[in-house]
Structure 1
C-alpha cells in the first residue's frame, strides 16, 4: 500500500481530518451524555465526507489514469 498513491491527496487528508474531528466530538458528548452534541459530531463527520468529495470534484483528489489497466491484472514494478 505504501507504493501506491492511495489517499495521498489534499482532498483525502482534509476529508479524513474533518471526519476524525467529528467522531472526537461525538465521543466526547457521548461520555457527557449530551445527545445534541453527539448528533452535532455526527453531522461534522458526515460533512468531512462531503468536503472530501467536493475537493475531489474540484481537482484536488487523485486523477484517474487514462487507459488504466483493470484491478485483476497483475502490476509489475520496474
Structure 2
C-alpha cells in the first residue's frame, strides 16, 4: 500500500543546472580524493576549487533559467 506523503511534487532538482553542478562537483571531488591519497596539497586544493566552481556554475545556470521550472525549460506556446 503506497501513500503519497508530499502535498506537491518534490522534483529532486532534475534540471540541467543541477546535473551540471553535480557533474562538476564529482570531478572536483575525484581530483581532491586522488590528491589526498598522493599527499599533494596543491592538487587537493585545486579539486576543492573545482567543487566551488561547480556551485557557481550551477547557481548561475539556475539564475539563467535552467533550474527546476526555469523559464528556459518550459515549453513556449506559439
What are structure 2's unaligned runs of at least 5 residues?
A: 1-5, 71-78
* Structure 1 residue ranges without an equivalent (≥5): 65-78
TM-score by length of 2: 0.74
RMSD: 1.7
Displaced runs of 4 or more, over 2 A:
none
- In structure 1, the residue matched to 2:11 is 5
TM-score, scaled relative to structure 1:
0.74
Q: 2:45 & 2:10 partners in 1: Cα distance?
A: 35
Aligned position for 2:48: 42
Q: How many pairs does the alignment contain?
A: 63
